[in-house]
Amino acid sequence: MGKAASFYAVEGVDGCGKSGMVGHIVAHLNDGGYPAIATREPGGTPQGEKLRSLLLSGTDDAWDQQSELLLMTAARVEHVRRVVLPTLERGISIVSDRYVGSTIAYQGAGRGMSEDYIRFLHKEAVGDVWPDLVIVLDLDPAIGLARSKKRLSADAIDEGRFETLDLDFHHRIRRSYLDQATRDPDRHVVIDALGTPEEVRARVIEAITLWRTRQAR
């Protein structure tokens, strides 16, 4: 069912449950005989992980928004050239925790930078590389932020730079994802991320199965 290797991206507001879901999707694909690996952005390569800690730690004013956009894009260049494309070429699927949809949401809708500029930069720097399927875990950002802050403080992780931004910022992120899905419905599925982890997981797996069946036709 479906073509051999696909590029999946999982997107959503902070605390929507993406990271755990990426692991479940990878396990589901592997169990079905389709090799897949999990990866993340910013990150996914040694240099990208260094950029991640620079980008996600500190206070909101740690970076000018142009620098933030360029560094997110630089991490993506490394990720795509060194991991995503070579892995897909080997017939192994990629499940990425965030991709360029996050840049359109956070730097575009969140920070107010031009989406045309973000897309231009993506095309020039990264290339015309888009996920086959974007899974948007849709959740009220107030719920997501509370979860995310709890996890960061419980695990003493210094990655809370975007969590310090106000709720309005995070509402713009949610709206941007829904808007991206509406504008490009063939490439996106929106999943209600409210519910038990088992319920949300079942919704995601069902949506992926449906998408793969459609792809196989």
Q: Would you tell me which residues interact with ligand TMP (CB under 6 A)?
A: 14, 40-42, 56, 72, 97-98, 102-103, 106-107, 162
Q: How far is the CB of 153 from ligand TMP (least distance, A)?
A: 14
Find all residues with CB under 8 Å of 104, minimum gap 6, and list them: 115, 118, 119, 176, 180
In the complex with ligand TMP, the residue whose CB is nearer, 2 or 108, is 108
In the complex with ligand TMP, the residue whose CB is nearer, 42 or 141, is 42
Alpha carbon distance 109, 174 (integer Å): 9
In the complex with ligand TMP, the residue whose CB is nearer, 103 or 176, is 103
Taking each helix axis from N to C end, the angle separating 141-154 and 167-183, rounded to the nearest 10 degrees, works out to 120
Find all residues with CB under 8 Å of 144, minimum gap 6, and list them: 12, 13, 14, 15, 16, 170
Q: How far is the CB of 120 from ligand TMP (least distance, A)?
A: 15
Peptide bond into 141 cis (omega under 30): no
In the complex with ligand TMP, the residue whose CB is nearer, 45 or 102, is 102
Q: How far is the CB of 44 from ligand TMP (least distance, A)?
A: 10
Q: How far is the CB of 42 from ligand TMP (least distance, A)?
A: 5
Question: 165 near 60, Cβ under 8 Å?
Answer: yes
